[in-house]
Amino acid sequence: MKQSALIDYRGNKRYINAWAFYDWANSAYSLVISSAIFPIFYGALFSSAGIETVTIFGGVIRPTPLISYLTAAAFIVVAISSPLLSGISDFVGNKKVFLKFYCYLGAFSCMGLYFFDLDHIYFGLLCYFFGLIGFWGSIVFYNSYLPDIAHPEQQDAVSAKGFSLGYIGSVLLLIVNLAMVMNPGVFGFEDSGAGSMEAMRWSFVMVGLWWMGFSQYTFYVLPKGVGKPHKVTRAVVLNGYAELKAVYEGLSHNLPLKRYLTAFFVYSMAVQTIMLVATYFGEQEIAWPDEGAKTTGLIVSILIIQILAMLGAQMTSKASRKYGNIRTLIAINSVWAAMSIYAFFMISPIQFYVAAGIVGLVMGGIQSLSRSTYSKYLPRTEDTASYFSFYDVAEKIGIVIGMLLYGFIDQITGSMRNAVLFLIVFFISGIVLLLRVPDKIRS
């Protein structure tokens, strides 16, 4: 992509604000659906019916490995399709239409979760599946706008602005949903467990409306794309894969980048897996006094994680400036490894709250520092967009592997504790691989 095609858009505050505001819109999904309300709803759906296994697709499986496998399947679709669609969007000069498609797919799927029950389990799982694809698919095109609307020296600050808006918006909606679930009678629902379940269903609808509604400002302001539109040919369709292949081949000429990306791929498997299954773990493995305490405790834990994640990102940024990116990442991975051991023995709600606090501090830090470290190892003369596409695909493939392994261990051992403990292998391997990466990064 020629730099001249970007001059009209980069640095414009209106475009930057509109871009960042999409994080406000879509982060409600990652918090309410992925992390908080839906995992609680999903666990309660089976526990309230006294069901420990479910027969689906001709087999019998426990609910937690089922959702792990389904999550992995969704990420497979995103990993395969995103390079193809990214290549097409660049050539047709209209990435906004793809951003809209994934946004609406995800938003309507969230609203469809209202009908998730044991009598319509296939429909419910399908809505969860497409909701995941909608969220992560839209993120691909959302991220691709960053170099179009911000100069390189602005991108860290603009990216952080998006994250901040996302944290604030999603926490605001979660607080409302928490009030609905804990006091269903106040909001017109039955004042009982059934009322709380109904409140959770309506929270899924609210996420869809929030995501779709607040996205309209972003869609109205952002340009369709950059560059002149081209006719879509077979070469264009396969262009995304060709770029990934070129990046892979280019890694052999950049040993520090190759070593870092290998380390990231390994430890990211474990980090992303823990973030996706943490609430399911808390719902199933922690000894809560009763169902009400469980619901409150899990949502409060998620709030703790979200709030401390912002603090953790700032602490990590300061630590990286003082000790270097690689040393800081090694320290954070060491904390994650210790947390995996701690989680194996964790039983009480207090222990879970402590874990939530620590996870919050290291979660935001490892995500932001991993991406910025990767950018600093990139060669100056290459197209960074294709390198970041490779980074995104590597991360998603890692999630697929992590979720499949987690689900498999959970399934064969009958315990999520064993699966969490197994993740320590990836953190230790990541630390060993990071030790091979030079900490001297280009400025």
Q: How far apart are CA 173 and CA 188, in angstroms?
A: 18
pLDDT at 443 over 60: no
Q: What CATH class has 8-237? A: mainly alpha
Q: Which residue has the higher pLDDT, 133 or 314?
A: 133
Phi and psi at residue 61, to the nearest 5°: -150, 150
pLDDT at 2: 41
In this predicted structure, what is the pLDDT of residue 93?
Answer: 61
Percent residues over pLDDT 90 in the chain: 27
Alpha-carbon distances, residue 349 vs 38, 235, 283, 435 (angstroms): 19, 55, 10, 36
Every domain of the chain and the residues it spans: 8-237, 255-443
Closest C-alpha to 215, from 153, 139, 285: 139
Q: How many CB atoms lie within 10 A of CB 63?
A: 21
What's the pLDDT tens digit per position in 342-361?
A: 999 999 999 999 999 998 88
* Maximum CA extent, the chain: 64
**DSSP string across 113-140:** GGG-SGGGHHHHHHHHHHHHHHHHHHHH
Other Cβ atoms within 10 Å of 229 Cβ, number: 11
Which amino acid is residue 222, in one-letter code? Answer: L
Position 327 pLDDT exceeds 80: yes
DSSP string covering 26-70: HHHIIIIIIIIHHHHHHHHHHHTTT-S-EEETTEEE-HHHHHHHH
Residues 6+ apart with CB under 8 A from 219: 96, 99, 100
| Cα separation, 96 vs 144, whole angstroms | 10
pLDDT at res. 301: 87
Positive/negative CA dihedral, 55, 61, 65, 69: negative
**Residue 87 confidence (pLDDT) above 80:** no
- In the structure, what pLDDT confidence band is assigned to residue 272 with cuts at 50, 70 and 90? confident
Query: What crossing angle do the helices spanning 384-413 and 349-377 adopt, rounded to 10°?
Result: 150
What's the rounded Cα separation, in Å, for the pair 233 and 91?
A: 10
Q: DSSP 3-state assignment of 297?
A: helix
* 357-361, 373-377, 428-432, range with the lowest pLDDT: 373-377
pLDDT of residue 144: 73
Tokens of 231: 């006719």
Mean pLDDT across the stretch 33-47? 87
pLDDT at 234: 59
pLDDT, one tens digit per residue, over 89-100 is 655 567 788 889
Residue 352 contacts by C-beta under 8 Å, 6 or more apart in sequence? 282, 286, 297, 301, 346
DSSP state of 9: T
> Look-up: residue for tokens 């980074």?
391
CB count in 10 Å sphere of residue 290? 9
**What distance in Å separates the CA atoms of residue 201 and residue 31, rounded to the nearest whole number?**
15
**CA nearest to 421, candidates 401, 405, 433:** 405
Bridge partners, 56 (sequence order): 59
More confident residue, 107 or 86: 107
Fold equal for 8-237 and 255-443: yes
Q: pLDDT, tens digit, for every residue of 232-246?
A: 555 656 667 777 787
**Rounded to an integer, what distance in angstroms lies between the CA atom of residue 19 and that of residue 267?**
29
C-alpha angle 395/400/406, rounded to 5°? 120
Name the superfamily (CATH) of residues 255-443. Answer: MFS general substrate transporter like domains (1.20.1250.20)
